Every structure is written in structure tokens, then in C-alpha cells.
Structure 1
């Protein structure tokens, strides 16, 4: 009897401990709602966000959904989390990846087959690379270059249908497949086209029938523009500019990569389905093993880095595994976060802000409910910091173009500047903030900062340096982003300083010649009788005027729109009259050649004094530098 009583006490103790364990891991739903609501309200006010929406799911239920602000300010229509349609940008890609995995389950697609087997056009091979597969597309490793100025448009007629888009916008392959993480919108569009080819139905129809209807996502669509029955639920985007909200137009973008409009309630259903292994109520969109495969890491550059699952981006926030995807259009920013081990999902969307807002809200939530233990930093030792100087330099995103004018964008977007000090620390400046790193093993560095850092795809907690097979230094971070060390002549510092000095020389020369000409006129001095020298000077003046016109056109076309926050020529029609600027580069090349010839002649003839000849030679060198610079960056 005593043994039985002891056994019962042991069982009660075990049960008690399990209950305590469950309670310790569970989050009071009321607290979640209150805390999250406060975080959102604070950030919405701080960032002047006109409209926002949130939904949170926990343990298979929607525990919070709320709209903030107005879906339409003029009509004073409030945001409704059940029906208000926000543009969710790249979160749309999750529909494409879900569709691909459904067709894999049906045996209609194979993750490791050449994608050319599924399409009716050819993707050319790349020397030294294996064929591109769906596995590469799902992990953003197909090796395509990326065109950031060909994603958005405000005119429906400017966006070709999917079957034309995948042919006409086929990018160059710049990396071997499966070797380099480089986020690819085209890769997702191609996967969407493969869904069409394998299923035998249009992409939008397939998603409607196999995802939206099964999950009762009645306020979700890929249609551009929205059909009549959904127009009244469309959220109007605004941005706070000069003290008031400016309205923006509907954005058109490649359908499978970012065109979805959805409500917070619909996105909550999607999150529940993923967190419940593909099931929602009595419906099923994926098999359990498929969901688990999608949640597992499929690619990373280094064991210490979060990489890519199938479609989802891996993240570690306060030591918790998070699967997430962000979405950004010119006007909307959205985020979807899943914590599978906690049964928790969070969705946010808003217009008029930036991706830092949802990063900060989510990090604030994690700090509240999953606080980090105090971090003890290991001291830097001589054994680890002996050769970190080789990592110093400027790094550019590998998500870039090498063959179009978009190449120049790599000088202004996503640059990481790396410096080292004598104490063995490394400093990485990214998005305007500098973080201090210490080396934990050769080439692997940990951030000493524990709070959020401004990185769109990860926490920027760990960075890894490795040389590729060509000897180029690579910088790798969490998520689908990698960076390559730029040579000195392609760095932003060299390019912009050299450009500024050259423009100053050009303008200074023109002004000095004009001044000298005016003085000569006032003093009634005779004109220069050396016709060769006069012709050389007139040629240089003509070149200078053409160059200033070209720089002026670049400045006008490259001006950032205050509402859409992109250069106008990146999303709108270029005026027909601007075609005249297309001829200027060819004239500048011709003038540069002529300047070179005249430089040789004036030195042979000893025209002007030595200083004048040196000045003219510098002027000609500047002209040749401009030709090289503009050709290198594909600007003409």
C-alpha cells in the first residue's frame, strides 16, 4: 500500500510539473492583444501611417485582428480586418510556393528536374553551372540577375501577361545555380508560370481553386486591377508628405511574385493552415510531411547562418526559430511571421511606411514575451583576429544587375562598409547604422549589439566571410541576401568622388573660358589667330554643354518621387520627347574621340602655354573617364 501511495504521489508530481511547464510556455491571450495593440498604435502614430491592419493566430485560433486608420480618408471608411484589402507584396510568393508543392505532391512536378522540362521556351545554359531546378527557385539560388526598376508600374498596359513576361524579362544568369543566395522576383514569376504549365489552368485560377476557396479566403485575389465586386474593399495607399497625406495609385506588378491583395482575416486562415500542418477546419492544402519539408532549412551558406526554407525565410529572434516573409511594394509594407514551435502567427500590413516599422513591432513583441538572456561576449583573442584586415572594404548586394543600367543602383542600395581596428574588432555599417562584431572562428563574426538591427531579411547578428571559387570575397548574412566585395574602381567612394571632381573640372573650365572670353571682349583684344586652338576650345565647349545636358537629364529622371519613393522612370512612362537624350551618349563618345585627337595636335603644335595644354589634357581625360564610367555602369 505504501508503494502504491508513493507511486500515486510520483504521478501527481509529474503531472504537476508538466502542467507548470505548459503554463510557463503558454502566453496569456489577453496580454498578447493588449501588448501588440499598444506596439502597433505607437508605431502607426510615430511613422504617420494612414492605414494598417494586424491579425494574430495562436493555437489554431484567431485571437486578435484589428484595423487602424482609414481605408479611404476622403470617404472616412475605416479599415476592417475582415474585408479591407491590402497589397501584401512578396508575401504573395508563399501562394506560388504552396502551389508548387501541391503539384509536387501530385507527381506533376519534381523539385530537382531542369525547369526547362516544364516550360515552352528555353533558359540558356550557363558555363560551369548545373541546370536550374524548382529547388533553386524556392530557395532563391537560381543565379539570375535582378532588375529593381522593372517590377512596378502604374499602367496596366505596361505589364505584359505572365506568359509574355517570363519570356521578355528573362534575366541573365550571373551565378551558377545553387551556389549564391540572391533574391529573385523573376524566379518566382517563372515558378508561377510552371504552375500554369503543370496544372493546365491560369495561375490566378489555380490559386483561387486550390488555396483561396479551400481556406475560405474570400477577400483575397491576384487580380490587377481588382474586379468590381472587390473594389469597394480596396485600401487606398497614402504617404505623409509635407504635412498631409498624399494619395497613390494602384500598383501593377508580376503576378506570382507580388500582386496579391488580401485581408488580415484571410491571412490569419493561411497562417493557421501552415501551423496546423496544412489543415484548416475540414480542408487540407498540403500534406503534413510537405509542410515540414517547407519549414526545414534547405539552403544556407554557413551552419551559423539562418538561410532559406522552401519559400520561407529563416530567422532567429531572441533565440526563437521564426519562419517569415516580408512584402514591400512602393506604397505598402507587410510581414508574416510564424513561430511553429509556439503555434503562433502574426501578420501586419500598412501603407505609407517602411519595413523598419514591422521589424520594430515584431522585435518589441519578442522582447516582451521571449526576452533574451543576458549575453556574455567572448573576448577577442590573438588566435582569431590575425588577418581580419582582408575583410575590410565595400560590399555590394548580389541581388543586382550586371547587364543593364540597374547596375548603378548597387552604388546606392544595400551597401555594407566594413572596417577593422587594431584591437581585432570589425565594424559593419549598413543602412546608416554601424555594428561592432567580434570573431568567434575564422571568418565568422558575431554582433555585439543585441537589439534589432536595420536589415530587411534577418537580424544581422552573424556575418560570415568566404572567398568564392574565383577568389572574390563574399559577405553572407541571415536570409536570402549575400554581398560581394567591390573592387576599388567600383566602390561608391571612388565613383562619386571622381564623378564630383570631374564635374567640377568640367564646369570650372566652361566658366573660366566664358570669363576669359568676356574679358577679351571688354579689353577689345584680338581673337586667337590659331584656328586649331580655337577649334579645340569650341569642341571642348560643345562637349561640356552636352555633358551638362546629359547630367541634367539623369538628375531629372533619377529624381525620387516623394510619394512612391522611387525614381519616376522606374514606375511610369518616360515622356516621348525624352528620346532625344538617347542620342547624346553617342555624341559624347564622338566628342571624346575628337578631344583626344585635338589634345595630341595641340601638344605637337605647342598651342597655348604649357599650363593651357595640361589643362586641356585633363579636360580630355575627364571626357574619357566619363565614357568609361558610363559604359561600366551601363548608363549608355
Structure 2
């Protein structure tokens, strides 16, 4: 059955990656920060109004970057930041802007203020792996079981999982992010224990599809420990930090480091509490560093692995790391060993490799232009509007303007265009969807940004109205299988059409919602009946909420006594740890009990507010609901997350029928509209 969507039903951040933290909010909401300002207005800064400058000079570069931060929109968005520019083995600029601590008015010092670099950590972990490969202690194409000291990972594919797969985010794991619970600053969680606690399974053929992989990089750090015979953080200190003179870089926290760490701020400008690395050394995201130290690392990467006479990598290893050849299309920058491509629409035809990182209150990005021997780094301490895209756009437009030749007209037959049509689901976050249909000369893509027009450039390569490329990949049978566009941390897979349920005809009022959710895998298709009028059980509803998160299921023993024997116990336990269910005071969950509409509303509102940071909402309610459910029902009604079962009076009051059981057809509307509204 083919259904046209009448609203966007997906998350759709423009960029992102990166390290998962202890709550889904810090996985999903940090991904969604990027489009909160109209950044194109920031990109016209040019010192003294002159044409592009190259090579960079210290005075002119400082003037240009100062001008960037002097813009009113940038100043309003800034708490604190460091910007570092290097070229031709020189530090051209290393300067702090704003405050490391706003309340105490402590300015950022680029040489001494510590920032969390987040997923830029992965580039250092990949560097350590490449060093071990040079020493003959590991082989990149060898099955990793040789290096994991008896750690067994289930592999259901028959294809070996290698270090190359881990480094390029093509492991094929079922889960790459963990929903670990919050930890106290003084608590300890060793890397080895973390790896054992959160073992995923290989369910896709390794090397087949790109899916950003935090666990895969934590696992590489574990392999570094095992093959070097020393803790990961000690290895990096001895073999990377010390040779490069990175005297103030760290992979573990201490009291001294915490005292000098920039204060993180949320999107509202409120101070966040400092938090521990999870695990302690966090090879995937635990790096804490300064602008000065990052300058040394960039200079080594731009000088074939050497900095001021100290060599950390052979030139061939540097070249391998910076070759972004794991891509959905040869003309689309892809992924290398610890590097990727962020905001590639501004590369202007030049070879650019980069790495971005995001944690609560900290956001970073480095870009290297190897042919120009130039590097750019920024890190900030606020979840407010993201400055990274604006900075890179301005920097490239000023110093390295577009030198690309215009694409020649490329026509695609109508039949070929139709082969791209369909619904595509992100392989990292199942809630993230693209609805693709044909136009007269190209493709129309609907996502949470709105509607985009893709014009063909080459076979399986398209360009949108803003110049951003999109690519497709075929399987061995020649069928379109994967899509990659404006969500940089994973590909999306083309979904088969949903099968018709015998009790849900195409003209059923809930059919569009039911079949779209069946298509994305939320409803099973192995039974001819859907039973739309059947009440939804509490465990069924919670399982669906957790399923769309894409999170690793909890491995903790179920806290609810009556879920111990349930096949969905891990889903309920994960929901408990994420803070979206509570149970009752006696420790019971009543999994098979029909969930009421007000209970479902409370779970949805908790998901949105606690995990995604959505604000509370009010609505004009009619009917009756319990006091504990008022806020949840108001939230769901205010956002219109209901179907034709709800009645609205002439005065606009909504009777949500709060105390009635939630039926399956009604739940389908709630879930569908949640994807299109809450995760928008």
C-alpha cells in the first residue's frame, strides 16, 4: 500500500553526530540544535571589505575572526568559545571569546581554558589504532576477536567485523548508542566494564552501511588497552599528547581539571552541572583540551604526522586517516579513520576533512585543508544557537572561495526517477524519516525541515536548492537501498510498502497513521489483523516509545516485579531509566493492563519534556482527568496529538476522553503525530 504523507514525520537536524550521553535528550536534542538560527546572515564578514585572502596572516586573520564574533547575532548566541587557525606549520590564531564562567566573568583563555572536545576524541582514538597498526600489533582488516581478549560479540552476518569497520562507522551493530544512567562526578566506571555491560550484536553486514558508532570507538579504546598493555588514557598521553607538546589535554577527569573546565550552559543560557565521563576515559568522547593543544594536533596532521621534529604517525597512515572514501557515492565526502565531512556544501571544491563533537553544553569542530596546509578549530560551551556552520561558511567564503565548475545538465528518465520513490528510515534513529517522490525533472524530499527539491547531477547523485548533495546506493540486485542527505551521522534505508491488514481498509479514518507506522516497523506485519479497536497494553505502548529511540536496551535487572518474566522487560526498564515511566509505590508496573489515554499522554509529555527539552504547554480542556495527568493531557492536546475520536466544543474546549482506554488506532495517531511534531 502506498500512502502520501500529509505532514513531516521525522527528526531532521542538518548535521550531527555524536557522542551519546546518559539520556536520550543528550543524544537527540543535541543533534537538533543546529538549525536554530538563520546562519546564512552571518557569512558575509570580510575584513575591510576586500576580496578573499590566502595565505592567512596573523593580523588579518584575527581581524576577520574578531569581525565574525562582533556581529550582533553571534554576540547574542555566544557564551564562550575558542577559535584556532593554523597554516604552513604556524599557529596563525589561537584566541578566546566570551566567558568560561559567565557568572564570575572569567574570560576564555585559549591557552589554558579547558573545554570538552566531545567526539573529536575519536580522531585521537583512531590515531592510536593507526600507531598500533604501524607497530604490527593490529591489522585493520583482521577480525577484531583476535584483539579483544575473549570479549565475545554476537555476529549474525557471517562476515568478519574488523577495525576498519569500527573506524569508519560501518560495524553493522544493532545499537551504537547507550542509555546509561546518570552518574555522580566522583563515581568510577572503567572502560573495560562499560564495554562488557553494553555489548551490541552485529546484525547488518559489516561495511554495508554507515551509522555513527559511539560504542565502536569505545571498543577501539578497549583494544588499545589490550594490545598496548596500558590504560587507554595512559597510552594516549605517552604516545600522542607528550610527543606533540599537548601538555594540557586529558581523557580522564580530576579535581584540578574540573576547576579549570569551562562552565557548560544550556540553550536557555542556564548553567549546567559538570558531569563525569562515561566511561571514565571515554575514547569516543572524553577528550578535554585547549585551543593551543589542538593547534599542535592539527599541525601534525597537516605535516604528514610530524610536529616540531616529533613524529606520531607515518605519512601513509595520515593519508589513510584523511581519505574519506567510505561514502554512499564517490562524489560525496564520506568517512575516513576518525575523520568525516561536516558542512561539505561549503568545501568549495577543495579537499576538506573534519570532525565534529557534541556533548551537553559543549560543541566542537575541526576542519583540515591538507592541500592548503590549513586548519580551523572551534569549541564553545553553550547549547545555544550553533556557530560552527556559520564560522566555516564565512571562513571558506573569505579565504577559499568557490572554485567548482558548474555541473552539466544531467537528465534522468521518468522511470529511473520513480525507482527512488518511497519512505526512507534512518538506520541510527528509527523516528527519522524521508518521504521521496518524483517531480517533472527530479525528486521531492519531505522531512522535518520541510520540502526540498533534488536535481540530478550524476547517476544516483542529486543537488538541492541550497547546493547540498544527496546520494543513493543500490544493492547487488540493482535496487535503490540507501539514501544520504542532510543528516550526516547515518544513512537511511528504503522501506518496503506496508501490507494491508484485513480489518483496516484503505479508507479507514486511521489507515494513514497505521500503515505509516507499520512501514517503519512499529507494528508487526506477520498477522492479517491489526485489531484497531483493541485497547493498548501498558507494556505495548512503552515498548513502542523506546523502540523509536534507537537506544541500546538496558541490561539492568527489571525494577518492576511484575515485568520479570515479560519478553519486553528490557524496554520497560529502559523507559524507567530514561525517566518516562515510574510505576506505583509498591514496585508494580501492571504491564498487561490497558493504558488509559491520560497515562499515554503523561508518558508522551515526559518523553518530550524530560528527554527532548520541550516546554510545557497549556490547552482548553473539557471532560475529566486526574490531577496527576493534567499537565500531560494539556501538553498532548495543545500539540494536537490526537485523532477523530476527540471532540472539540464550539468554544474550543477539547474533551480528550482522558480516562478511557487508549485503543490501538488512537495510539497510531498519537505516535505518528509525535514523530512529526515533538521530534521536529
Q: TM-score, normalised by structure 1?
A: 0.70
Matched, 1:428 2:442: no
Q: Which moved more, 1:251-260 or 1:24-33?
A: 24-33
Matched, 1:163 2:192: yes
Q: Which residue of 2 aligns with 1:174?
A: 203
Computing the radius of gyration from Cα coordinates, the structure with the larger value is 1
Distance 1:557 1:41, change over 3 A: same
Aligned counterparts, 1:445-594, within 5 A: 445-450=462-467, 460-467=468-475, 473-477=481-485, 481-487=490-496, 494=513, 546-548=595-597, 550-561=599-610, 565=613
Matched, 1:419 2:449: no
Instruction: Report the Cα distance in structure 1 between the residues aligned to 2:601 and 2:454, rounded to whole angstroms.
Output: 42
Contact 2:437 2:444 in 1 (8 A): yes
Contact 2:78 2:382 in 1 (8 A): yes
Higher-RCO chain (CA-CA 8 Å, sequence separation at least 6): 2
**CA-based RMSD:** 3.9
Q: Which residue of 2 aligns with 1:77?
A: 106
Aligned counterparts, 1:155-554, within 5 A: 155-156=184-185, 160-223=189-252, 226-241=253-268, 245-254=270-279, 255-314=282-341, 316=344, 317-353=347-383, 356-373=386-403, 376=406, 378-379=408-409, 381=411, 383-400=412-429, 410-411=430-431, 414-421=432-439, 423-430=440-447, 432-450=449-467, 460-467=468-475, 473-477=481-485, 481-487=490-496, 494=513, 546-548=595-597, 550-554=599-603
Q: Post-superposition shift, 1:64? A: 0.7
Instruction: Report the Cα distance in structure 2 between the residues aligned to 1:471 and 1:374, rounded to whole angstroms.
Output: 31
Instruction: Report the Cα distance in structure 2 between the residues aligned to 1:37 and 1:152, rounded to whole angstroms.
Output: 41
Q: Which moved more, 1:182-191 or 1:142-151?
A: 142-151
Distance 1:495 1:213, change over 3 A: farther
Match of 2:393, SS? helix
Contact 2:267 2:384 in 1 (8 A): no
Q: Which residue of 2 aligns with 1:514?
A: none
Q: Which stretches in structure 2 are left out of the alignment for 5+ residues?
A: 1-51, 500-509, 519-529, 536-590, 616-659, 675-680
Instruction: Report the Cα distance in structure 1 between the residues aligned to 2:93 and 2:181, rounded to whole angstroms.
Output: 32
**CA deviations over 1:366-420 (Å, ceiling 9, x no partner):** 1122222586454464x534331332333222124xxxxxxxxx22xx4333232
Instruction: Report the Cα distance in structure 1 between the residues aligned to 2:391 and 2:79, rounded to whole angstroms.
Output: 17
**CA deviations over 1:355-375 (Å, ceiling 9, x no partner):** 852012101211122222586
Match of 1:559, SS? helix
Q: Post-superposition shift, 1:556? A: 4.5
Distance 1:472 1:342, change over 3 A: closer
Match of 1:272, SS? helix
Q: Which moved more, 1:125-134 or 1:211-220?
A: 125-134
Q: Post-superposition shift, 1:231? A: 2.9
Q: Post-superposition shift, 1:147? A: 4.9
Q: Which moved more, 1:479-488 or 1:253-262?
A: 479-488
Contact 1:57 1:345 in 2 (8 A): yes
**CA deviations over 1:412-469 (Å, ceiling 9, x no partner):** xx43332322x1221234451543221234433223423xxxxxxxxx4232242466
Q: 56, 62, 70: which is aligned to 2:85?
A: 56
Contact 2:498 2:516 in 1 (8 A): no
**CA deviations over 1:15-55 (Å, ceiling 9, x no partner):** xxxxxxxx995334433322223224438736623111111
Match of 1:274, SS? helix
Q: Which residue of 2 aligns with 1:622?
A: 663
Instruction: Report the Cα distance in structure 2 between the residues aligned to 1:468 and 1:237, rounded to whole angstroms.
Output: 47
Instruction: Report the Cα distance in structure 1 between the residues aligned to 2:670 and 2:383, rounded to whole angstroms.
Output: 35
Q: Which stretches in structure 1 are left out of the alignment for 5+ residues?
A: 1-22, 401-409, 451-459, 508-541, 568-618
Instruction: Report the Cα distance in structure 2 between the residues aligned to 1:59 and 1:196, rounded to whole angstroms.
Output: 34
Contact 1:99 1:195 in 2 (8 A): yes
Match of 1:53, SS? strand
Contact 1:337 1:346 in 2 (8 A): yes
Instruction: Report the Cα distance in structure 2 between the residues aligned to 1:112 and 1:213, rounded to whole angstroms.
Output: 29
Instruction: Report the Cα distance in structure 2 between the residues aligned to 1:85 and 1:395, rounded to whole angstroms.
Output: 41
Instruction: Report the Cα distance in structure 2 between the residues aligned to 1:164 and 1:145, rounded to whole angstroms.
Output: 20
Distance 1:172 1:156, change over 3 A: farther
**CA deviations over 1:129-164 (Å, ceiling 9, x no partner):** 311111111111111133545268353588732111
Q: Post-superposition shift, 1:286? A: 1.1
Instruction: Report the Cα distance in structure 2 between the residues aligned to 1:123 and 1:132, rounded to whole angstroms.
Output: 12
Q: Which moved more, 1:69-78 or 1:153-162?
A: 153-162
Distance 1:416 1:333, change over 3 A: farther
Number of residue pairs aligned between Structure 1 and Structure 2: 496
Distance 1:123 1:471, change over 3 A: farther
Q: 66, 71, 85: which is aligned to 1:37?
A: 66
Contact 1:377 1:448 in 2 (8 A): no
Match of 1:197, SS? helix
Distance 1:249 1:126, change over 3 A: same
Distance 1:629 1:118, change over 3 A: farther
Distance 1:384 1:151, change over 3 A: farther
Q: Post-superposition shift, 1:555? A: 2.5
Structure number having the greater helix percentage: 1
Q: Post-superposition shift, 1:185? A: 0.4
Q: TM-score, normalised by structure 2?
A: 0.65
**CA deviations over 1:582-622 (Å, ceiling 9, x no partner):** xxxxxxxxxxxxxxxxxxxxxxxxxxxxxxxxxxxxx9993
Match of 1:320, SS? coil
Match of 1:146, SS? coil
Match of 2:128, SS? helix
Q: Post-superposition shift, 1:109? A: 1.0
Q: Post-superposition shift, 1:76? A: 1.6
Contact 1:53 1:79 in 2 (8 A): yes
